[in-house]
Amino acid sequence: MRQLVYILLLVILLPATAHAVQDAAYPFDDAFKATVYGTPPEMTYKIEKPVKPKVEAIRIENRKVPDVFSYSAAMNYSKALQKDEAPLIFIVAGTGAEHNSAKMRFLTQAFYQAGFHVVALSSPTHMNFLVSVSQHAAPGYVPYDVEDLYRVMLWIKEDIEKERDVSDYYVTGYSLGALHTAFLSKLDDDRGDFNFRKALMINPPVSLYHSVGRIDSWLTPENLGDKSVHDEIDRMVDLFSDYYKSAEVTDLDDNFLYDLVTHVDLEGKDLKALIGVDFRVSSSAMIFASDVCLQAGYVVPTDAYPLSSTTPLMPYSEVAFEISFKSYLDEFLLPYLQYLDPGIDHYTMIQRCSLYEIRDYLETADKVMVIGNRNDPILNEYDLSFIDKVFGERATFFPTGGHCGNIMYGPFVEKMLGMVTP
């Protein structure tokens, strides 16, 4: 009985833990730690009244969606509309991310709270987008991807204007979505459909090709030393398993994932490898989906078609995982682009997927702005000085935060919102 009273006292005296340390400095100085760990839950920007975004879908009539992707025939997006007239912001996801991924959910809430109608779009590199609405079905070539995005955004604009008054249009995106943002702004200036008031690039790469090259390099022998990718992943799975066994967890939620990566002692090269593996998971999904849509014989041999919804896919998953993004660009995307338009060469492809392509525009377009981090591992010193030179005052850099690691961090979010709200 005494023990019961003791337990009861403990229960009553221990309040549910909730810290409020909004103003504390961002804790991870190391770029790779920041990228992997993200923002500690108690330091994330507070969303006072979360809105429940609606998921909507767009389907193209008579589109020949492969059977194996029948569940992905319509393009899904999230929308959260204010009750009355408001400005509308489109958010474009980063590589391989969906409209309702963790970062996208957060950005949707943050911009909604700041008074925007919000439309969140999956990245054109996400399988659902590619399967359901992409014209050429081979993502990674920015001019095509931006055309696809632009077309979808026009349709959504048309639908939303029937529902609500929209005062102005804005566009933003993080990572690859930030690169898309710049090109969308340029395209809109040429065509005049949205007349974007502001275009905010969050953690953009300068050149898609150079940035993915850097990420690819983290899975090469130079980074991994004597270990193979297989051994490295194996080791990490073991580390995480040990943590899972020892920890008092009952739910595999976001907080658990945060605890997991922060409690398991990972070295610099492990963190790099983890980012590399995460990227490969996205790119292998994209490569496989693209190959199946085009029946190009890259991963799935042509005599294996038709794939049905019951076909085992593990062998394809294994080979697709081992294809670097750079190999995809060289072996699949470039030949395909040349097949469609013989004038394109390797240099043109890379140039058109970088901010260099629209440098003149960016130098004078006051509405286009950048927010990022000085130690973003997908940027090198040339990229940073390019952004400084081209954007000048319109670029804001935090000293730390890695690649999108501080995207939910209070001061970063306040700055970000301040850049688009008048």
Partner 1 sequence: MINRIHTLLIISVQLSLLLVMGACGVTTTARIDPALTLENPGFQTSVSHAPDPDDTDTIRDIEFMEVYDPWEPMNRSLYNFNAGFDDYVFLPVTNAYETVLPVPVRSGVSNFIQNANEVPTFVNCLLQGRIEKSAITFSRFAINSTFGVLGVMDLASNNEDLQLQKEDVGQTLGRWGVGNGPYFVMPILGPSNLRDTVGFGGDLLLVLYQMKYAYKILGVKNTKTLAITELLIRSINKRSNEPFRYHSTGSPFEYEMIRFIYTKRRELDVER
Which of the residues 207 through 246 are near partner 1 (CB under 8 A)?
A: 228-230, 233-234, 237, 241, 244-246
Of 63, 191, 346, 415, which one interacts with partner 1 (CB under 8 A)?
63
Of 150, 170, 288, 386, which one interacts with partner 1 (CB under 8 A)?
288
Distance from the first to the final alpha carbon of the chain:
63
Segment near partner 1 (CB under 8 A), from 41-49, 170-178, 199-207, 315-323? 315-323
Dist. CA 3–CA 16, nearest whole Å: 21
Segment near partner 1 (CB under 8 A), from 170-178, 260-268, 309-317, 389-397? 309-317
Token readout for 195 is: 């007349």
The nearest distance, CB 311 to partner 1, in angstroms, is 8
The nearest distance, CB 390 to partner 1, in angstroms, is 33
Dist. CA 221–CA 410, nearest whole Å: 38
417 part of the interface to partner 1, by CB under 8 A:
no
198 contacts 189 by C-beta, under 8 angstroms: no
Residues 319-338 interacting with partner 1 (rule: CB under 8 A) = 319-323, 331-332, 335-336
149 part of the interface to partner 1, by CB under 8 A:
no
Dist. CA 263–CA 261, nearest whole Å: 6
309 part of the interface to partner 1, by CB under 8 A:
yes
The nearest distance, CB 388 to partner 1, in angstroms, is 34
Residue 410 host element (H or E): helix 410-420
In 100-141, which ranges are continuous DSSP H helix? 102-113, 127-132
Q: Which among 191, 185, 181, 161 is positioned nearest to 86, based on CA atoms? A: 161
55 part of the interface to partner 1, by CB under 8 A:
yes
Please, which residue, 47 or 294, has the CB nearer to partner 1?
Answer: 294
The nearest distance, CB 236 to partner 1, in angstroms, is 11
The nearest distance, CB 213 to partner 1, in angstroms, is 19
Of 82, 217, 223, 317, which one interacts with partner 1 (CB under 8 A)?
317
60 part of the interface to partner 1, by CB under 8 A:
yes
Residues 167-206 interacting with partner 1 (rule: CB under 8 A) = none
64 part of the interface to partner 1, by CB under 8 A:
yes
Dist. CA 361–CA 187, nearest whole Å: 11
Dist. CA 302–CA 218, nearest whole Å: 32
Dist. CA 130–CA 283, nearest whole Å: 12
Token pair 């919000």 is at which residue?
Answer: 118
302 part of the interface to partner 1, by CB under 8 A:
yes
389 part of the interface to partner 1, by CB under 8 A:
no
252 Cβ neighbours under 8 A, 6+ residues apart:
none
274 part of the interface to partner 1, by CB under 8 A:
no
Q: Based on the number of CB atoms within 10 Å of its own CB, is 191 exposed (0-12), middle (13-18) or buried (19 or more)?
A: exposed
94 part of the interface to partner 1, by CB under 8 A:
no
Segment near partner 1 (CB under 8 A), from 188-196, 249-257, 392-400, 405-413? 249-257
Dist. CA 371–CA 374, nearest whole Å: 10
Residues 9-48 interacting with partner 1 (rule: CB under 8 A) = 10-12, 14-16
